[in-house]
Homo-oligomer: A and B are copies of this chain.
Amino acid sequence: MARNRKADKPLVQEYSLRPIGIIHSPFKNIQGVPIQPVAGQGIEGIVSVASEFADGLKDLEGFSHIILIYYFHLSKGYRLKVKPFLDKTERGVFATRAPKRPNPIGISIVKLKKIQKNQLYVENIDIIDGTPLLDIKPYVPKFDLIRTKSIGWLGSKVDRATMVKSDKRFK
């Protein structure tokens, strides 16, 4: 299998993404946002998909949960080591869900309540109001539900995720 050698070529390429919609939530600024959907239980939001993409929403309503893929538009630049909200120690950014990533892509699994035209009414949201939406995928337990207990540094800390809110550290 090819290794490093081949890795260099396509890395010069850039890919351009255009938002397909906007995520609306009660969280108007970067502080005080739940750090994961599990901490945003019951909090409602509206995902407004641009009308040109509305046909792509067909059949989505049958799914109780969806994966929102979005761009952390308020996060400027990136760091390879970050101090996550749940820890006091610096961790490699890829071992965290922090927003200051080389490609600032976020994913959240939210509950889909209903769809009206191009508006998705969702619950359990942990996303800042105005966040650009890149993609929507159905959540499928057969694909996405993995039973694992090895969660590295998060092991003793993950239960605090429901209580901790964001601060300004990743601005």
Chain A interface mostly helix, strand, loop or mixed?
mixed
Given the contacts A7-B50, A102-B20, A142-B38, A15 and B132 also touching, CB distance less than 8 Å: yes
* Nearest-neighbor residue (CB-CB) of A9 within chain B: B22
Once the chains bind, are A69 and B3 in contact (CB under 8 Å)? no
Contact status A1-B24, CB under 8 Å: yes
Within 8 A of B (CB), among A118-161: 118-119, 129-130, 132, 134-155, 158-159, 161
Picked from B56, B62, B93, the residue with its CB within 8 Å of the CB of A102 is B56
Task: Indicate if the CB atoms of B151 and A141 lie closer than 8 Å.
Answer: yes
Q: In the complex, which of the residues B6, B17, B144, B158 contacts A103, with contact meaning CB atoms closer than 8 Å? A: B17
Contact partners of A114 in chain B: CB under 8 A: none
B20/A6 in contact, CB under 8 A? no
Cβ of A31 < 8 Å from any Cβ of B? no
Contact with B along A1-30 (1 / 0, CB 8 A): 111101110110111111111101110000
Residues of B within 8 A of A32 (CB): none
Beyond the given A2-B48, A36-B142, A138-B154, could you list 11 further A-B residue pairs with CB under 8 A, ordered by the A residue number? A10-B130, A11-B18, A18-B103, A53-B94, A55-B92, A56-B102, A62-B152, A64-B151, A67-B107, A142-B161, A145-B147
